[in-house]
Structure 1
């Protein structure tokens, strides 16, 4: 039987706090460091490897983490998720995003339907629609092919799909699967929509409106902006728009759209990239086969997350080490540092995924927790970040754990040799150097040039950014966040923290304000 207990009530957590701290500078020096790099690696799906040699753990700490995982019943709780139990207690819902990419456990029936069959049906409908667009069977009013697809959405309806599109854009062009350019409109700031509309030919553009409820203020505002632009161009907006929404929303059966594809309440926005939210835009941009490969990579990583052997479960171990850093070592933040320009928006997606999921101060029962929960997440691609915020990471007063992501090969397949090495070799050399520099530091009598070291990091190493590898990478972080939520005994699947601001904004727009809210409204000339 699964029990839900606060982290600080677990005996194994108290033992973990007593474990001797690891001196990372000593642990990573010389042959000791070489042995750690070889021994502290877990294989992942699609050729990835999770290496945690430069983390502040040793065999004793790992043993304590294994005991914590068992006492916290992490495997049993994940099993409850994929078997369709109601683990989203805040909204009294199942959590089924894993099922969009495959069946991990038993069949789950909800709302009178088999949910796996429902998700597959939507994928098949999207694939059929995308193929018809690409074949010129679905065209604009002039009978001409659509060349651009524009996603209108915010939060999870934008960040994940945008990050994945950007990750695969060059790969698709290199591999002849690039079908349509994709653009994204998210911010209610009119400059966002205007910039996109000014960069495209609206007559040859297909717009994807994404809103589960069909009532998201920012998204509907941007839809009106787009419809106005289509009207001004003499075009029928209903012939240029599709909707991704729930079957019960006002958008579901509207004549304003060429077609509507469905999601449901069991998939949160930040977990929705593998649903119709990502499926429509990515299938139109790259073809349904590429989206299917993305789902396959995610499913293969999901299967690894089922492994009850903690030391062979990369997501569970990554989560446990993160909780150790947050709740025992006291580190407040984590930097995600992909050494791949293709992943330039991936950290932004992970900010939402992690901070919206685990930015909670009450447990699953609404009781205040007495320990820190989700860390601050930030990041940029290397090597750009090295010339930005790495100064603080190397020599600042706070230690920030680091999660590197690196690839052995670029997407383009061509490179130049300059000063004896290729660009890709220089990129990989930088990430290898940074890991050791952060861990080992460098002594110098000039305190301004002294590096104390002891700055922990892990790295996920892959061969190349492809649809399957980006799917596996996404699943890794989704499942890591889930496991950490289990450890903190919080609900990682609702997001009440985004609601209050929306309510007050509506009051401002209705001019129902007083006090500070009225004064700020006046200052902003609303």
Structure 2
């Protein structure tokens, strides 16, 4: 039987609160540090390794975290989720994004529809469509091939797919998989759409409108912006647009689109990169085979997350240590620091994934929780971040746990040797140095140059950013967020916090406002 209990009611959590904090400077200095780096790591999917040597845990704390995982029934809850339980209690929905990339458990059938079969069908339809675009069977109204793809969407319809596209763009160019360049329009600010349209050959562009409900204000506004631009070029928008939506939305059977591909209410926007939301743009840009490799990596990551022993489950272990840092040590933020330019927008995607999922102050039953949940996520690629906000991370008054991501090889492998080392070697040297600098610090009589150390971090190390590796990395963080939501006993799969502002904005546009809202509207000359 599954028990959904608050974190502070669990005996193992109370034991964790009484644990002796680890002195990172002590354990990471000298031979003990070298020993930890070798021992405190666990294999991940797609050849990654999760190394947590510089996180503030020891064998005793890890033993208690294992007990916490078992008491909180993390594996059982994950099994319930992928077998089709109504885990999204706020919206009374199943949570099925794992099914978009594989079958982890028993068949999930809803209203007579096998959902795995449904998602595979959509992937096959997208693959067929993309192949026809690439070989010139589907062309613009002048009979010419499409050369660019533009995705119109916001939130999960933009952040994940955009981050995934940018992560694979250079890899695809090097490996002969770059078939169409992709662009993204998300912000309702007209400058966003204008800038993209100015950079695109509109006559040879195919536009993807992504809205599950078919009613997203920003997305429909940008669609109108694009349609107007197409008409000004003497083009029929219906010959240049496809939709990714639900089967029940007003976009589904509309003659305004070349085709429509479907998702459903069981795929949250921030978890939708492996659905048609990411599938259409990535298949058009790089080919269906590349998207299939991406899904393969995500499936491998999901399989790793089913391991019941937390010490062999990198996603669960990462989640447990993160909750310890948040709820026992009191650290409110985590910085995600990929030492890979390919992952330049990956932290932005993780901001939504994590903060929209677990930024909750009530539990699954709508009751206030008496402990901290969620965390503030931010980040930039290294080494850029080192010359930006690392000053605060090293010597500021707050301790911010760090999640490094590093790769042994660059994507292009087109490097130069300068002063005895290549650019990639310099990049890797920097991430290794930062981990030790943050954890060990440096004593100096001049306090302005003194580094206290004791700043925790972990690193995920992979071979190279490839489609399979990217899918596995995405699944790691999705499942980490899920496990943390289970521990905090919150619903990680709704997002009521985004609704109030939308409602008030509609009131402003309708002229239905008073008091402060009216005055702010006046200030902005609305």
State the TM-score, normalizing by the size of structure 1: 1.00
The reply to whether residue 337 of structure 1 matches residue 337 of structure 2 is: yes
1:142 CA drift (Å): 1.2
After superposition, what is the alpha-carbon deviation per residue over 1:210-267, rounded to whole angstroms, capped at 9, x for unaligned?
0000000000000000000000000000000000000000000000000000000000
Match of 1:382, SS?
Answer: coil
Structure 1 position 441, deviation (Å): 0.1
- What does 1:441-480 align with in structure 2 at a 5 Å threshold? 441-480=441-480
CA distance in 1, matches of 2:479, 2:444: 41
CA distance in 2, matches of 1:331, 1:393: 12
- In structure 1, what is the Cα distance between the partners aligned to 2:301 and 2:281? 23
**SS at 2:179's partner residue?**
coil
Matched, 1:389 2:385: no
**Residues 499-523 of structure 1 deviation map (CA, whole Å, 9 limit, x = unaligned):** 0000000000011110000000000
Give the Cα separation in 1 of the matches to 2:123 and 2:133.
Answer: 15
Q: Secondary structure at the match of 1:2?
A: coil
Partners of 1:213 and 1:293 in 2: how far apart?
29
Match of 2:18 in 1: 18
Alignment of 1:82-231 (within 5 A): 82-231=82-231
Indicate the residue corresponding to 1:47 in structure 2. Answer: 47
Spell out, residue by residue over 1:125-149, the C-alpha distance to the aligned partner (whole angstroms, 9 max, x if none).
0000000000000001111110000
1:229 and 1:247 map into 2 onto residues whose CA distance is 28
1:431 Cα deviation from its structure 2 partner: 0.1
The CA deviation string for residues 294-333 of structure 1, in whole angstroms up to 9 with x for no partner, is: 0000000100100001100000000000000000000010
The residue that corresponds to 1:248 in the other structure is 248
Give the corresponding residue for 2:316.
316
- Write the deviation string for residues 48-91 of structure 1: whole angstroms up to 9, x where unpaired: 00000000000000000000000000000000010010000000
Q: Does structure 1 residue 271 correspond to structure 2 residue 267?
A: no
Aligned mates of 1:91, 1:163 — CA distance in 2: 27
Unaligned runs of 5+ in 1: none
Offset at residue 112 of structure 1 (A): 1.9
Give the structure 2 partner of residue 495 of structure 1: 495
The residue number in structure 1 matching 2:484 is: 484
Report what 1:429 is aligned to: 429
Q: CA RMSD in A?
A: 0.3
Q: How many residues align?
A: 526
After superposition, what is the alpha-carbon deviation per residue over 1:28-66, rounded to whole angstroms, capped at 9, x for unaligned?
A: 001000000000010011110000000000000000000
Alignment of 1:279-428 (within 5 A): 279-428=279-428
- C-alpha distance after superposition, 1:68-120 (max 9, x if no partner): 00000000000001001000000000000000000000000013200000000
Rounded to whole Å, the distance in 1 between the matches of 2:10 and 2:357 is 22
Q: Distance in 2 between matches of 1:323 and 1:484?
A: 7
Matches of 1:111 and 1:406, distance apart in 2: 44
CA distance in 1, matches of 2:150, 2:400: 37
CA distance in 1, matches of 2:495, 2:99: 21
SS in 1 for 2:227: helix
Cα offset for 1:413? 1.7
For 2:492 and 2:396, locate their aligned partners in 1 and report how far apart those are by CA, in whole Å.
31
Secondary structure of the 1:13 match is helix
In the TM superposition, residue 385 of structure 1 has moved relative to its aligned partner by 0.2
Partner in structure 1 of residue 238 of structure 2: 238
Q: Distance in 1 between matches of 2:393 and 2:323?
A: 20
Provide the secondary structure at the position in 2 that maps to 1:513.
coil
Q: Secondary structure at the match of 2:355?
A: helix
CA distance in 2, matches of 1:364, 1:413: 48
Q: Point out 4+ residue stretches in structure 1 off by more than 4 angstroms.
A: none
